């Protein structure tokens, strides 16, 4: 009996940091703790984080995901997602006597507070972000309608006409491309030298670290896989960053079953990372799928170590 053909050799380069960030971890814990403390059902407004695997796992434990509060029964418990919500949402929850817990990432809350403070100084607020993203909707909803102008591109920044060029400030979505945002900010600062920016960059540490890690491995990779959801801003940005950093064959997959092996070709080196809302179990699943097809050597490339943790609400932690 002849031996089976040897598997082709492959180096799988793992970007680090990858996967869950502190804000995502906290949000999921809030749902799990609420279910444990109160029992199901616990309602969650919007996906707690943008990952179907996570959402479905919480649904099996008794979480019920809804789009709006009018789907939540009177007196029920509801959790707001990690992306943040407009002020009108907790106001409606109070009016309907719902018991609510806010799982907004503290770094998103920081942007909310920043926008409010800048507005209180009489400044017109520019928000750099993606229209329709829950975080953008939540940030714009902290201030009166019309108080925030959304800018998505360099072209938007060039075309923008403020009410008063001397009274301008900007904040940003936390999950943007670092490089794209820097280009937009540079245009705004060139056009409006007095524009006020955040005290500390709004793009969060996790977004920055994951993009830096992808930049470190992309030039060496024949192909690069990002594990994440198509509605996850930080995951989609990782694909774009990888392409720009030298790996045009970069793709997003939600899990191992989504990998198009034929399109992958016959690579010698594949980069692998995961968006901030993708759990490590999905990374392990993809690694196992590569082991099934290749003689794999694993290389871990770390650009940063993360130790950030956020406190949980006292009402659940107690």
What is the rounded distance in angstroms from the CA atom of residue 89 to the CA atom of residue 140?
13
Catalytic pick among 92, 135, 285, 299: 135
What is the rounded distance in angstroms from the CA atom of residue 242 to the CA atom of residue 93?
41
317 CB-near residues (< 8 Å, 6+ apart): 33, 311
Token look-up 């990782």 returns 238
Residue 54 CA from chain centroid, whole number: 14
Report whether 272 contacts 248 (CB < 8 A).
Answer: no
Residue 166 is a catalytic residue? no
**What is 245-261 written as a DSSP string?**
TT-S-EEEESSGGG--H
Burial 129-148 (b: 16+ CB within 10 A, else e): beeebbbbbbbbbbbeeeeb
225 CB-near residues (< 8 Å, 6+ apart): 250, 251, 253, 259, 270, 271, 272, 273, 286
Neighbours of 293 (CB within 10 A): 13
Write the DSSP symbol of residue 200. Answer: S
Report whether 216 contacts 303 (CB < 8 A).
Answer: yes
Which amino acids are annotated catalytic?
Answer: 135
């Amino acid at each position: 009996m002849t031996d089976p053909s040897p598997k082709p050799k492959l180096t799988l380069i793992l970007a680090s940091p990858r996967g869950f960030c502190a804000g995502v971890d906290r949000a999921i814990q809030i749902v799990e703790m609420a279910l444990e403390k109160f029992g199901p059902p616990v309602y969650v407004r919007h996906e707690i984080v943008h990952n179907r695997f996570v959402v479905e796992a919480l649904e099996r434990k008794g979480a019920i995901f809804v789009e709006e509060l009018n789907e939540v029964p009177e007196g029920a418990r509801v959790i707001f997602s990690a992306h943040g919500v407009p002020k009108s949402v907790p106001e409606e929850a109070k009016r309907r006597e719902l018991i609510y817990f806010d799982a907004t990432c503290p770094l998103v809350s920081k942007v909310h507070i920043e926008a409010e403070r800048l507005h209180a100084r009489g400044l017109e607020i520019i928000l750099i972000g993606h229209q329709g993203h829950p975080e953008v909707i939540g940030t714009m909803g902290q201030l009166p309608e019309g108080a925030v102008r959304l800018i998505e591109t360099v072209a938007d920044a060039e075309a923008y006409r403020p009410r008063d060029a001397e009274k301008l400030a900007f904040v940003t979505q936390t999950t943007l491309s670092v490089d794209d945002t820097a280009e937009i900010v540079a245009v705004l600062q060139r056009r409006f030298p007095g524009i006020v920016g955040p005290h500390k960059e709004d793009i969060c540490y996790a977004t920055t670290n994951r993009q830096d890690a992808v930049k470190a491995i992309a030039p060496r990779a024949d192909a690069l896989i990002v594990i994440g959801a198509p509605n996850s801003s930080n995951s989609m940005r990782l694909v774009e960053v990888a392409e720009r950093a030298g790996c045009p064959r970069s793709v997003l997959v939600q899990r191992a079953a989504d990998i198009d092996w034929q399109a992958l070709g016959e690579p010698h080196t594949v980069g692998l990372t995961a968006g901030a809302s993708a759990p490590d179990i999905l990374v392990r699943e993809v690694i196992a799928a590569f082991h099934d097809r290749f003689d794999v050597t694993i290389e871990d490339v770390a650009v940063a170590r993360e130790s950030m943790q956020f406190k949980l609400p006292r009402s659940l932690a107690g």
